A and B are shown apart, each in its own frame.
Chain A
Amino acid sequence: MKHANENELIGYREGELSQREEISAHLAGCADCRRELDRIDAVLAALDALPVEDPGADYGQRVWQQIAPRLGGRAARWRDSLLGIREVADWFAPRRWAAIGAVAVLVVAAFVAGRMTKHAVRGSDTADAARVRERVLVVAVGEHLGRSEMMLIELSNAEPKNSKQNVVNIGAEQRRAEDLLQENRLYRQTALEEGDAALASTLDELERVLLDVANGPKEVTLVQLETLRKRIEARGILFKVRVVSKELRERQKSAAKPPAQNASEKKEGKKA
């Protein structure tokens, strides 16, 4: 082969596949072409030293916070947008009915409990209704957190079916995460409406973890599973879930006591 020209050497340097072996063989025996390639390399290496700023480990989260309010409505699926088929189909999707069912249970429970309280204690109806609503929420969220905790623990302890496999099937946990995700959104929304910012915040964090699990692959390698475990640990979500569950149990007990006692306890608490 005659000497390689500049474009051939640039192509060689930039990973061009054609003539690669030929040029490589030529370079092995031609000092002139090697020097020429070194000069090209030196320029590219100098350019490589130009730094790229590090946007930070939380950059993706910041981007989401910036764009989320600007996203508007749902992303359109072009083939459905003309006919509106998807919207209709969505109303009949089993998952949607499950979510609606969960809300209905909550509303009916609140209504029934409210009526029972009204019969038992006449007078401060509004305060009673609020207390009952909170009690229903406390019970429902407490159970939801218990189920979430159980799922996360099982996920953390997941192992391959036999020791020879290096892949773990977390399909079952994933399906549970999907269901929990639906519930979680409802409870987070309700907590926000009830003005319980602390509970809403924990549910928001739990939601991120559930999203990670639900959107991940069904079969994960041991390395991926370890990464997932570390992510769960790093967020301390299990600890937070346990703390909130305990708080909710205490609120449940406190709500079960007579109102007068409650009021005095609150005062005591404030003093403390």
Chain B
Amino acid sequence: MTRMKDSVESAVDSDAIAVERTLSGDRDAYRVLVERHSANLFRLAYRMTGNRHDAEEVVQEAFLRGYQKLGQFASRSNFGTWVYRIAANYAIDRVRQQRREEARKEKPARDDSSGQELDPVDFVRDEKPLPERLTLNAELRNKMKEALQALTVAERTAFVMRHWEGCAIEEIAGVLKSNSGATKNTVFRAVQKLRRALEPFVTKGMEARAMGQQG
């Protein structure tokens, strides 16, 4: 644990040095930061946008914006957290924009369907037959996509950052430009909505597995 803490602290120190060097004109020092934080940003962006293409765009844009704004970055704060926040903000803008565009384009065609707006998660291609994908019940998976798509962008962001990314409420509040109390409520609302939508299918799956084990 201490070792992990040491490692995090030295990564932060090392980030601060790389930031300082980048600001001094050493552009290659920024490479260290990009290589170190890309995977983290990708995971967040993928969960927020739901597909690889958009996630990669978010990561690139976040680092480009980070480079342009590096002068405004207070070196006493953590570069990883800072650029993560830029990525989260850009992902929110991008998903909102996509939802607006899709709603405008798809509205006539969707009148006879469920009427729900299109979610980027729907564009996820199953490029590899991962074990998780095979074991995950297809119906439940579709329901999860629908449930995530039914969340507002703020609810989805709050859920992704809190549940999957383990971010502090204050950090999420900063991204959502809200206060801690309202952000907590956004997380609660997201989980409640997901629960209402998914519980029947989750319990059905559990019952089916239990029956299978008995038989």
> Contact between A67 and B187 (Cβ–Cβ < 8 Å)?
no
Q: Is the CB of A76 within 8 A of B71?
A: yes
In A18-50, which residues have CB < 8 Å from any B CB? 39-40, 42-44, 46-50
Asked whether A125 is an interface residue with its Cβ less than 8 Å from the other chain, the reply is no
The answer, among B22, B63, B132, B184, for a CB contact under 8 Å with A51, is: B132
Q: Does B170 contact A (CB under 8 A)?
A: no
Q: How would you classify the secondary structure of chain A's contact residues: helix, strand, loop or mixed?
A: helix
A250 within 8 Å of B (CB atoms) = no
A71 touches B46 (CB 8 A): no
Contact A14 B163 (CB under 8 A): yes
A146 touches B (CB below 8 Å) = no
Write the A61-89 contact mask toward B (1 if CB under 8 angstroms, else 0): 10110111011001111111100001000
Determine whether the beta carbon of A211 is less than 8 Å from that of B28. yes
List the B residue with the shortest CB-CB distance to A227. B7
Q: Which residues of B contact A77 (CB under 8 A)?
A: 23, 70-71
B71, A40: Cβ atoms under 8 Å?
no
Return the contact of B63 from the options A16, A43, A67, A76 (Cβ within 8 A). Answer: A67
User: Is A224 interfacial (CB-CB < 8 Å)?
Assistant: yes
Q: Which of B1-38 contact A (CB under 8 A)?
A: 3, 6-7, 10, 13-14, 17-18, 21-25, 27-32, 34-38
Report A175 CB to chain B, min CB distance, Å: 13
Whether the pair A50, B144 counts as a contact (CB closer than 8 A) is yes
The answer to whether A53 and B7 touch across the interface, beta carbons within 8 angstroms, is no
Instruction: Identify B188's interface contact among A11, A68, A71, CB under 8 A.
Output: A11
Stretch at the interface among A152-160, A212-220, A236-244: A212-220
Is A40 a contact partner of B191 (Cβ separation < 8 A)? yes
B68 close to chain A: CB less than 8 A: yes
Asked if B182 is at the interface (CB within 8 A of a chain A CB), the reply is no
- Return chain A residues, CB-CB under 8 Å to B162: 14
Across chains A and B, the number of contacting residue pairs, with CB separation under 8 Å, is: 152
Count chain A CB atoms within 10 A of each CB in B17, B38, B194 and give the residue with the most: B38
User: What is the 8 Å Cβ interface bit string for chain B, positions 139-171, against chain A (1 contact, 0 not)?
Assistant: 011001000000000000000001110100000
Q: Is the CB of A51 within 8 A of B133?
A: yes
**How many A residues, CB 8 Å from partner?**
52
Determine the chain A residues whose CB is within 8 A of the CB of B67 once the complex forms: 67, 71, 75
Contacts A46-B198, A60-B35; A215 near B29 (Cβ below 8 A): yes
A14-B191, A40-B195, A75-B30 are known contacts; what are 8 more A-B pairs with Cβ within 8 Å?
A51-B130, A55-B55, A60-B35, A67-B60, A71-B30, A207-B28, A215-B17, A217-B13
Residues of chain B at the chain A interface (Cβ within 8 Å): 3, 6-7, 10, 13-14, 17-18, 21-25, 27-32, 34-39, 42-43, 46-47, 52, 55-56, 59-60, 63-64, 67-68, 70-72, 127, 130, 132-133, 135-136, 140-141, 144, 162-164, 166, 184, 187-188, 191-192, 194-195, 198-199, 202-203, 205-206
> A residues within 8 Å of B by Cβ?
6-7, 10-11, 13-16, 39-40, 42-44, 46-53, 55, 59-61, 63-64, 66-68, 70-71, 74-81, 86, 90, 207, 211-212, 215-217, 220-221, 223-224
